[in-house]
């Protein structure tokens, strides 16, 4: 079998892609796999979005209208899990697959076979996860953070499938990350030093290390759950000498780096787009690299800020508060660098630039509410309210998701060889921008006014803003169908794109024709580093 | 191909790191216990205390200790402290007891789990004898007084005037005995 | 102010959309609350909020100016700078200074929150799926007050069958009552999964963790009714376990407490005391003749097949748990109704013991009313 694939792979080198469905099943080509990842993540985005709309529809008015509380809890849980592990992370891996080899002048990823496996694990993992909704007792209903003992002693029987699904996702992520690290460290075009790499490559290198460090910890924590549920151990069960709070410590030791895993590649994307449309070099390249590294480092030592109300000795609370506040410094440096890049540039505002600017503004708002949350005494009032929901959606939706959309618009002409429809793209941007803010901005208010998160019904004083938030959510949700239309239209009928595509674009990927040939940079002499740095 | 072997070496290193981090996740469990023991994190109290030196009794200082007893979930036993609170001097050995009765029609096995608040006090509460060190088995209708002997360390920080010792009683009749016993230690 | 204008517009809009609702306590900001700590936290919140607003205005202001001036369409030509050590040092150092300035008051407040001092009243707060159990600790066990507080909002309001009244989802059957200007310590724990006890006006939020006890405290400065909710996902009805605290003058508190203690004493005397088998049999016969004999007959023979005999057959000589269950909960599809609501724990224990030991049913077993009471209160 492997010999056949080997043969096949060898064939590719000379004749371009194979025909038919088998091309996608057996492909080891980084561009094909990147495409698979991106389409998969878009499907998951729509699925997770549908769950979100179920939530927002139920919360449109006080009272129970559409779903029972049990099902509501499954929706919040699955929405979180699907969006984090199914939409955002695979989308970044897809972008890494497409772009990293082209950005560093490598012919492909270092481990093409493993690349194929790490993608094809995902459909199985998510089919298993989604199928729990149809099982007896329902799907996971304990929140995406799956705190014990709700996820152990009190969990529905489907929790075992959830655990296996998480294991599969973890294996996929770890394999993907190993591939990224090896590719970046071993396959850079001759003469490209680390400090000459585009920032997207840098941020992904750091992200990959984070993934290798924390995905196994997540695997460990779900394994402990599995043992508690089926093999009578007591990691998280107080009766047997365990401790439910231990779960939270181990989970957030994974969970905090995880949230940076979902934002660091976004920093890389924005650092590529803003200079292009400002027609000016990125300000403070080196400080960007150092800031990213320090954010990654800090992410390991701040997990306790998710647990201020859980109960820690005073010294613990103070330590986690100070450490968390520190994160504002490197994050601020990044924002200032982007603005300094725009300053005295010669800007145009095509769709990728619009998304990138919206990213900077709205991510900053999310960052500032994060700073508020870091103040431990105030966190006693914010914790587990909609203020927190508003905060992390501001950094994840107009943060991570907007950056992914910016990336798709930016590199789509390179991938497909066609331009997208600029007018439709801008329409999509404005609808998304308005939708996101109408959805999440009012959630700050209802959170401060005292509405807890993860409740299917609420007191009357929260009614107005919930209604507005739901309207915004539907606007945002349905606008994404326009995105689908734009991409399909671009592939089918978009007008021919040039090799450079954007006037101000620099980097190796813009030195190859559009669409990018199936094999690029097969030999080192195809790489023109001078062009890359313009 | 040099490049291939270079890749393989790096893959092995990174995979090793991933496996190491998987192990680290599990290592966090004993690590957490040690940190709890030292800092009193989460109000965990220590193992059985063996008094090594004759403690000096601080007669000038009085500390209030409260006792709480509650059942977890549907546990049916009667469980209550014989006294709600005591005023004690740091350094002296104190004795009290908890009443427990199994009203069910079958023999049941229980484990009580201690917890102290404020956390900062946990490390200063030494129990020389406690029913929480073992499991309790009571036949149908059986009752007993379970003794507790403890010393509050003279080094208890000045600002702590009241500490609360709570026991939660868990029904472990259904759980496999050997595993419960080993993890409870 | 801007806010007021916005709120009027929103109220108008939502009234238009659903005229049946009541809008109470309409607010967009954190509550100042009624304790010194809650006010300090509010101040901290406002301070950091304004710091964020100023940072936001500066950052976004520069961005907007740049977007207006440095666009290609107005003929801007891009400059060629990409580094400036002075600026970079400045925008690293200034945030550090701001953070240090924020850390100082935050630390002070946190210190206060962690020092409960000498509390006059200690209340154990126990989270249960999906209600709260409160125990006023007292050195005299007969004076200890203990009760369960659960949602009062009727099912019909939740299912939109009737109009939602004020305090929808924020009303409970038994309020927690505490005196004003008195330091109260809350000892928070859980009987099943995680919960969190949160009263925004006190700025008290504590996770309830099974097997562990955590403390929080409040000294409320103003009488009134304060409402909160469970703030940690605890399963199906997480959204339906509110907290209501009534803060009253010391005298009123004492009267309330004495009333509760008297109530408790009465229950203790009937349900809580140790009953002998003879007392149970005597009480049981009385209850049986009054309630059960109409169907099952005074001699226990019943009128089969509609009303089965209790003598020497069926549950009366089977396991006691099943026997208790049918008396407490009834049997669907038959005339056997649930007596939970009609008889107290002592009466139920007595009648079950009577049935098991009368007419030659010499089962010889016994149960205390206290234990039946426990079954009734845990809903088994």
Partner chains of B (3+ C-beta pairs under 8 Å): A, C
Residue in the structure block whose two tokens are 């929080």: C216
pLDDT tens for A435-470 read 999 999 999 999 999 999 999 999 999 999 999 999
Would you call C374 and B73 a contact, using CB atoms and an 8 Å cutoff? no
Q: Worst-scoring range by mean pLDDT, A11-15, A212-216, A371-375, B81-85?
A: A11-15
Q: Which residues of chain C are within 8 Å of residue A153 when distances are taken between CB atoms? A: 193
CATH number of the domain that residue A490 is part of: 1.20.210.10
Domain end among C269, C295, C327:
C269
CA distance C194 to chain B (A): 12
Cβ(A430)–Cβ(A353) under 8 Å?
Answer: no
pLDDT tens for B112-150 read 989 998 888 888 888 888 888 888 888 887 888 999 999
**A379 within some domain:** yes
| Domain count within chain A | 1
Are B121 and B57 in the same domain? yes
pLDDT average, residue stretch C14-30? 53
- Which of A59, A63, A75, A386 is most worth mutating to test chain C (most C CB atoms within 10 A of its CB)? A63
Nearest CA among C30, C38, C32 for reference residue C217: C38
What whole-number distance in Å separates Cα of residue A354 and Cα of residue A345? 15
CA distance C123 to chain A (A): 18
Question: Which helix or strand (DSSP H or E) is residue A221 part of?
Answer: helix A199-230
Q: Which residues of chain B are within 8 Å of residue C374 when distances are taken between CB atoms? A: 76, 103
Would you call C48 and A371 a contact, using CB atoms and an 8 Å cutoff? yes
Assign A514 to helix, strand or coil.
coil
Residue B184 has pLDDT above 50, yes or no: no
Residue C18 has pLDDT above 70, yes or no: no
**How confident is residue C16, by pLDDT bands cut at 50, 70 and 90?**
very low
Cβ(B36)–Cβ(B134) under 8 Å?
Answer: no
CATH number of the domain that residue B124 is part of: 2.60.370.10
Q: Which residues fall within 8 angstroms of residue A351, CB to CB, at 6 or more apart?
A: A406, A409, A420, A422, A425, A426, A428, A429
CA distance C120 to chain A (A): 23
What whole-number distance in Å separates Cα of residue A88 and Cα of residue A344? 33
Are C156 and C245 in the same domain? yes
Residue A313 has pLDDT above 80, yes or no: yes
Are B20 and B53 in the same domain? no
Q: What are phi and psi of B66, to 5 degrees?
A: -105, 150
pLDDT average, residue stretch A297-302? 94
| Domain count within chain B | 2
Active site amino acids of A: 79, 108, 144, 172-173, 256, 258, 260, 271, 305-306, 331, 334, 453
**C56 within some domain:** yes
CATH number of the domain that residue C222 is part of: 2.60.40.420
* DSSP calls for A281-313: PPTTHHHHHHHHHHHHHHHTS-GGGGGTTT---
Assign B164 to helix, strand or coil.
strand
Q: Mean pLDDT highest for which of B65-79, B104-118, C60-74?
A: C60-74
Are C283 and C345 in the same domain? yes
Are B55 and B109 in the same domain? yes
**C17 within some domain:** no
Q: Which residues pair with B69 in a beta bridge?
A: B167
Are B69 and B27 in the same domain? no
B141: left (phi over 0), alpha (psi -120 to 50) or beta: left
Task: Give the count of beta carbons closer than 10 Å to the beta carbon of residue B33.
Answer: 16
CA distance B114 to chain C (A): 7
**A220 within some domain:** no
What whole-number distance in Å separates Cα of residue A203 and Cα of residue B178? 49
Would you call A384 and C196 a contact, using CB atoms and an 8 Å cutoff? yes
Alpha-carbon torsion (A240, A241, A245, A247), positive or negative: negative
Which residue range is the domain that position B5 belongs to? 1-39
Question: Which helix or strand (DSSP H or E) is residue C342 part of?
Answer: none
Assign C358 to helix, strand or coil.
coil
| Domain count within chain C | 3
**C2 within some domain:** no
Are B18 and B76 in the same domain? no
Asked if B134 has any chain A CB less than 8 Å from its own CB, the reply is no
Are C146 and C236 in the same domain? yes
Q: Which of A181, A220, A249 sits opposite B14 (nearest CB)?
A: A181
**How confident is residue A19, by pLDDT bands cut at 50, 70 and 90?**
confident
Would you call B164 and C192 a contact, using CB atoms and an 8 Å cutoff? no
Are B104 and B28 in the same domain? no
Are B17 and B83 in the same domain? no
Q: Which residues fall within 8 angstroms of residue A364, CB to CB, at 6 or more apart?
A: A335, C56, C59, C60
Are C264 and C299 in the same domain? no
Domain end among C87, C113, C139:
C113
Would you call C63 and A361 a contact, using CB atoms and an 8 Å cutoff? yes
**A24 within some domain:** no
Domain end among C67, C96, C113:
C113
CATH number of the domain that residue C356 is part of: 1.10.760.10
pLDDT tens for C223-253 read 999 999 999 999 999 999 999 999 999 999 9
Tokens of B93: 């050995």
Cβ(A487)–Cβ(A425) under 8 Å?
Answer: no
Are B23 and B53 in the same domain? no
Mean pLDDT (chain C) is 87
Would you call B168 and C321 a contact, using CB atoms and an 8 Å cutoff? no
Are C71 and C163 in the same domain? no
Which residue range is the domain that position C47 belongs to? 24-113
Q: Which long-range contacts (CB under 8 A, 24 or more apart) does A200-203 make?
A: A200/A95, A200/A99, A200/A100, A200/A103, A200/A265, A200/A268, A200/A269, A200/A271, A200/A272, A201/A100, A201/A103, A201/A104, A201/A268, A202/A268, A202/A288, A202/A289, A202/A292, A203/A264, A203/A265, A203/A267, A203/A268, A203/A271, A203/A292
Are C245 and C150 in the same domain? yes
pLDDT average, residue stretch A313-334? 93
- DSSP code for C367: -
Are B74 and B95 in the same domain? yes
**How confident is residue A3, by pLDDT bands cut at 50, 70 and 90?**
very low
Q: Which residues of chain C are within 8 Å of residue A311 when distances are taken between CB atoms? A: 206-207, 209, 212, 214
Return the residue of A nearest to B22 by Cα.
Answer: A216
Cβ(C131)–Cβ(C150) under 8 Å?
Answer: yes
pLDDT of residue A381: 95
* DSSP calls for B84-137: SEEEE-TTSEEEEEEEEE--SSS-EEEEEEEEEESHHHHTTEEEEEEGGGS-EE
What whole-number distance in Å separates Cα of residue C154 and Cα of residue C166? 12
**How confident is residue C328, by pLDDT bands cut at 50, 70 and 90?**
confident
**A246 within some domain:** no
**A485 within some domain:** yes
**C7 within some domain:** no
pLDDT of residue A224: 95
CA distance C158 to chain A (A): 5
**C3 within some domain:** no
To the nearest whole percent, how much of chain C has pLDDT over 70? 91
Task: Give the count of beta carbons closer than 10 Å to the beta carbon of residue A232.
Answer: 16
**C187 within some domain:** yes
**How confident is residue B60, by pLDDT bands cut at 50, 70 and 90?**
confident
Residue C3 has pLDDT above 60, yes or no: no
**A152 within some domain:** no
Are B35 and B61 in the same domain? no
Task: Give the count of beta carbons closer than 10 Å to the beta carbon of residue B163.
Answer: 21
pTM reported for the whole predicted model: 0.87
Are B23 and B93 in the same domain? no
Are B7 and B89 in the same domain? no
Nearest CA among A376, A287, A270 for reference residue A324: A376
Are C279 and C346 in the same domain? yes
End-to-end, the C-alpha distance of chain B in Å comes to 55
**A254 within some domain:** no
**How confident is residue C306, by pLDDT bands cut at 50, 70 and 90?**
confident
Q: Which of C126, C187, C380 sits opposite B117 (nearest CB)?
A: C187
Which residue range is the domain that position A424 belongs to? 263-436+479-517
- Which of B8, B12, B16, B21 is most worth mutating to test chain A (most A CB atoms within 10 A of its CB)? B21
């Amino acid at each position: 079998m492997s010999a056949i694939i080997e043969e096949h792979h060898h064939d590719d080198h000379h004749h371009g892609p194979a025909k038919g469905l088998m091309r996608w099943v057996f492909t080891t080509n980084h561009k094909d796999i990147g495409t698979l990842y991106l389409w998969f993540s878009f499907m998951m985005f729509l699925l997770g979005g549908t769950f979100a709309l179920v939530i927002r529809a139920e919360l449109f008015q006080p009272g129970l209208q559409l779903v029972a509380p049990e099902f509501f809890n499954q929706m919040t849980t699955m929405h979180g899990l699907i969006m984090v592990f199914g939409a955002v992370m695979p989308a970044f891996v897809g972008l890494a697959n497409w772009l990293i080899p082209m950005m560093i002048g490598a012919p492909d990823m270092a481990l093409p076979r493993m690349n194929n496996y790490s993608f094809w694990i995902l459909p199985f993992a998510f089919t298993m996860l989604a199928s729990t909704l149809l099982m007896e007792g329902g799907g996971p209903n304990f929140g995406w953070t799956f705190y014990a003992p709700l996820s152990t002693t009190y969990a529905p029987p489907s929790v075992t499938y959830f655990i296996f699904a998480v294991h599969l996702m973890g294996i996929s992520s770890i394999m993907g990350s190993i591939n990224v690290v090896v590719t970046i460290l071993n396959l850079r075009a001759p003469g490209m030093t680390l400090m000459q790499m585009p920032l997207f490559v840098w941020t992904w290198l750091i992200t990959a290390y984070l993934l290798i460090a924390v995905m196994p910890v997540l695997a460990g924590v779900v394994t402990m759950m599995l043992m508690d549920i089926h093999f009578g151990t007591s990691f998280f069960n107080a009766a047997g000498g365990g401790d439910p709070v231990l779960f939270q410590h181990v989970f957030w030791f994974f969970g905090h780096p995880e949230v940076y895993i979902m934002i660091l590649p976004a920093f890389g994307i924005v650092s590529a787009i803003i200079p292009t449309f400002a027609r000016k070099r990125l300000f403070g390249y080196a400080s960007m690299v150092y800031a990213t590294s320090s954010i990654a480092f800090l992410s390991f030592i701040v997990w306790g800020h998710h647990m201020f109300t859980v109960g820690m000795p005073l010294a613990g609370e103070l330590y986690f508060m100070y450490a968390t506040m520190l994160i504002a410094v490197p994050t601020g440096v990044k924002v200032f660098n982007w603005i300094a890049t725009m300053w005295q540039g010669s800007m145009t505002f095509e769709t990728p630039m619009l998304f990138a600017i919206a990213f900077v503004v709205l991510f900053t708002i999310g960052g500032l509410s994060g700073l508020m949350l870091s103040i431990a005494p105030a966190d006693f009032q914010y914790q587990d309210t909609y203020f927190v929901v508003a905060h992390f959606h501001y950094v994840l939706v107009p943060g991570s998701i907007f950056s992914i959309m910016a990336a798709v618009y930016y590199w789509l002409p390179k991938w497909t060889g066609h331009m997208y429809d600029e007018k439709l793209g801008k329409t999509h941007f404005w609808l998304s921008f308005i939708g996101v803010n109408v959805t999440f901005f009012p959630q700050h208010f209802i959170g401060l006014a005292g509405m807890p998160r993860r409740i299917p019904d609420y007191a009357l004083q929260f009614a107005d803003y919930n209604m507005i938030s739901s309207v915004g959510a539907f606007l945002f949700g349905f606008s994404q169908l326009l995105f689908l239309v734009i991409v399909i239209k671009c592939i089918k009928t978009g007008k021919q794109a040039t090799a450079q595509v954007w006037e101000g674009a620099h980097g190796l990927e813009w030195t190859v024709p559009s669409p990018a040939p199936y094999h690029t940079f097969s030999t080192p002499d195809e790489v023109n580093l001078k062009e890359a740095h313009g | 191909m040099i490049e291939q072997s270079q890749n393989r070496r790096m893959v092995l290193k990174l995979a090793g790191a991933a496996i190491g981090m998987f192990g680290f996740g599990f290592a966090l469990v004993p690590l957490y216990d040690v940190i709890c023991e030292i800092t009193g994190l989460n109000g965990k109290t220590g193992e059985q205390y063996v008094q090594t030196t004759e403690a000096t009794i601080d007669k000038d200082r009085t500390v209030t200790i409260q006792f709480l007893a509650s059942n977890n979930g549907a546990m049916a036993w009667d469980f209550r402290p014989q006294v709600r609170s005591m005023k004690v001097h740091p350094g002296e050995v104190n004795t009290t007891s908890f009443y427990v009765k199994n009203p069910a029609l079958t023999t049941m096995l229980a484990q009580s789990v201690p917890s102290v608040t404020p956390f900062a006090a946990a490390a200063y509460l030494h129990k020389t004898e406690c029913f929480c060190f073992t499991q309790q088995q009571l036949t149908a209708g059986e009752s007993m007084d379970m003794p507790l002997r403890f010393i509050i360390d003279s080094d208890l920080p000045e600002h702590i005037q009241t500490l609360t010792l709570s026991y939660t009683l868990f029904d472990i009749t259904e759980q496999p005995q050997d595993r419960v016993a080993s993890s409870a230690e | 102010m801007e806010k007021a204008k916005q709120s009027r517009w929103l109220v108008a809009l939502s009234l238009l959309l659903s005229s049946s609702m009541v809008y109470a306590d309409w607010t967009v900001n954190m509550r100042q609350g009624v304790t010194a700590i809650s006010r300090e936290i509010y101040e901290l919140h406002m301070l950091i909020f304004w710091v964020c607003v100023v940072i936001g205005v500066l950052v976004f202001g520069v961005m907007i100016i740049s977007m207006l001036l440095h666009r290609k369409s107005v003929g801007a030509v891009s400059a060629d700078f990409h580094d400036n050590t002075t600026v970079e040092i400045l925008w690293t150092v200034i945030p550090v200074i701001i953070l240090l300035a924020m850390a100082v008051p935050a630390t002070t407040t946190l210190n206060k929150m962690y020092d409960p001092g000498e509390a006059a009243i200690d209340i154990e707060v126990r989270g249960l799926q999906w209600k709260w159990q409160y125990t006023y600790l007292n050195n005299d066990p007969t004076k200890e007050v203990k009760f369960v507080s659960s949602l009062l909002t009727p099912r019909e309001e939740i299912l939109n069958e009737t109009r939602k009244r004020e305090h929808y989802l924020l009303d409970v059957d038994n309020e927690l009552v505490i005196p004003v200007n008195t330091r109260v310590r809350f000892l928070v724990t859980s009987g099943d999964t995680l919960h969190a006890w949160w009263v925004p006006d006190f700025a008290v939020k504590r996770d309830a963790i099974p097997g562990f006890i955590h403390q929080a405290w409040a000294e409320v400065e103003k009488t009134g009714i304060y409402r909160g909710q469970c703030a940690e996902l605890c399963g199906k009805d997480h959204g339906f376990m509110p907290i209501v605290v009534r803060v009253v003058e010391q005298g009123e508190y004492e009267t309330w407490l004495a009333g509760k203690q008297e109530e408790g004493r009465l229950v203790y005397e009937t349900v809580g005391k140790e009953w002998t088998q003879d007392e149970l049999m005597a009480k049981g016969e009385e209850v049986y003749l009054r309630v059960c004999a109409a169907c099952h007959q005074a001699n226990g023979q019943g009128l089969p097949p509609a009303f089965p005999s209790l003598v020497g057959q069926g549950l009366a000589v089977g396991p006691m748990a099943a026997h208790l269950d049918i008396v407490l909960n009834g049997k669907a599809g038959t005339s056997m109704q649930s007596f939970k609501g009609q008889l107290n724990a002592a009466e139920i224990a007595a009648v079950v013991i009577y049935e098991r030991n009368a007419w030659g049913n010499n089962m010889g077993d016994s149960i205390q009313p206290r234990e039946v009471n426990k079954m009734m209160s845990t809903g088994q």
